[in-house]
Amino acid sequence: MRLLDVQGFDRSEEKRPGSWFRSGSRFRIPFSVPARFSCSATRARTTGYALCTISAVLLVLFFASGCGTVTVKNGSTPSGGGTTPTPTLQSIQCANTAVVGASSDSCSVSLAAPATGAGVIVNLASSNSAVTVPSSVTIPSGATSVTFNLSITAVTTAQSTTINATVAGVSANVVIQLHPSAPMLTVNATSVSFGSVPISTSSTQSVTLASTGSEAVTVTSVSVTGTGFSVSGVTFPVTLAPGQSVVVSVAFAPSASGAQSGQLTVVSNSASNPSDAISLTGTGVVAVHSVTLTWDAPVSSPDPVAGFNVYRTSGGGTSYQLLNTGLDSLTTYVDYAVQSGLTYTYLVRSVDAQGVESAPSNTTTATIP
């Protein structure tokens, strides 16, 4: 620690106004700045102030009875009474510039340079009473920005607010759009295609209805038009809270061949698309059925096997008909001559080189859809 030698002051008469410092006296002030200076003064009639800057960093304020001049011995030049300027306000920003319903938002104000001294006070204001902001925030010394939260109450019509920040007469603004809360229904498809579906069979696909607004949405009804189309899975009306969803099943069961089209209609109180239409398409085709048979050949037959004959009966009858026109040398057979709605029973006999058949195999049954 260094000592500041001050000449021209006498503290022996401190208790007497106007006589705290006397010319020609000396006292020491302990100080941590590596500098020494002296101040010569003559007694004055009125009390005044002298502001001295040491090495352009330290400000020393003398309340003295007539301090005339100050000389810094280490060669620094004193400055006469200026203050450090406040850094300029640069910007104000918010995380969201459009909000729906009641909400909150995080904003920040920034300076062009770090704050000094005890910090920089930023005055805040909102142009809309639906948005509440702090009256002011302080950017700490050495920092360039500070964050704050604003609170937003729900509005019934679309509005906006301007958030204003002011520092030393310099202002910056940010505009936030306010939208009223509303129910919203989102359907995950605009069309559903079933492709080719065999006659007298059915194909099913799922459609998801989701509440994506800020309020609950009510789905009043889901209906379907078009030959062969149907809907199931949910009982309507149904109310979905924000984030909830339901899945409806849409089926196509053609009764005749040819292309078909239809429409799924979803009715709700959604703020957008309260009546949403989803197109449906599908084609009925004549089914081409077949039955594939496989079996194991005899492992240890004393009579070598030359091939196999495949027999079939339908409707539970006992009269079997030979299917293959020539001896089948493979252990598999595909029967394409089948009809929808019938049940067929099959058996296989092995045949040797002389055309002699073995006893029949076990039977297997296939029902054609």
pLDDT digits (tens, 9 = 90+) for 222-262: 999 999 999 999 999 999 999 999 999 999 999 999 999 99
| Strand 191-198 with 275-285, pairing | parallel
Tell me how far apart the alpha carbons of residues 53 and 325 are, in angstroms, rounded to a whole number: 120
Place of tokens 């639906």: 130
Tell me how far apart the alpha carbons of residues 31 and 5 are, in angstroms, rounded to a whole number: 10
Tell me how far apart the alpha carbons of residues 125 and 133 are, in angstroms, rounded to a whole number: 7
| Confidence at residue 200, expressed as pLDDT on a 0 to 100 scale | 84
The set of residues, in sequence order, having a beta carbon less than 8 Å from that of 225 and lying 6+ positions away, is: 262, 263, 265
What's the length of the chain?
A: 369
| Confidence at residue 4, expressed as pLDDT on a 0 to 100 scale | 45
Place of tokens 């620690």: 1
134-185 tens-digit pLDDT? 999 999 999 999 999 999 998 888 899 999 999 999 999 999 999 888 899 9
Structure tokens at 3: 């000592």
Which residues are bridge partners to 173 per DSSP? 164
In what order do the strands lie in the sheet containing 321-322?
Answer: 321-322, 305-314, 343-352, 364-367
Closest of 292, 289, 278 to residue 248, by C-alpha: 278
| Confidence at residue 83, expressed as pLDDT on a 0 to 100 scale | 59
What is the greatest pairwise CA distance in the chain? 150
Judge whether 139 and 148 are in contact, CB under 8 Å: no
Structure tokens at 237: 């009306």
Tell me how far apart the alpha carbons of residues 296 and 140 are, in angstroms, rounded to a whole number: 89
SS3 label, residue 214? coil
Residue type, 164: N
288-312 tens-digit pLDDT? 889 999 999 988 888 889 999 999 9
**Domains along the chain?**
2-72 (no CATH), 89-179 (2.60.40.10), 185-285 (2.60.40.10), 291-367 (2.60.40.10)
Closest of 50, 46, 55, 45 to residue 69, by C-alpha: 50
The set of residues, in sequence order, having a beta carbon less than 8 Å from that of 319 and lying 6+ positions away, is: 313
Tell me how far apart the alpha carbons of residues 279 and 95 are, in angstroms, rounded to a whole number: 40
Tell me how far apart the alpha carbons of residues 356 and 326 are, in angstroms, rounded to a whole number: 14
Structure tokens at 287: 């089914």
Between 100 and 120, name the one with better pLDDT. Answer: 120
59-114 tens-digit pLDDT? 333 333 344 444 333 333 344 445 567 889 999 999 999 988 888 999 999 999 99
Judge if pTM exceeds 0.85: no
Tell me how far apart the alpha carbons of residues 86 and 123 are, in angstroms, rounded to a whole number: 14
| Alpha-carbon separation of residue 200 from 197, 280, 369 (angstroms) | 9, 18, 8
Structure tokens at 314: 């339908």
Tell me how far apart the alpha carbons of residues 207 and 212 are, in angstroms, rounded to a whole number: 15
Judge whether 257 and 284 are in contact, CB under 8 Å: yes
Q: What is the CA radius of gyration of the chain?
A: 48
Tell me how far apart the alpha carbons of residues 87 and 119 are, in angstroms, rounded to a whole number: 10
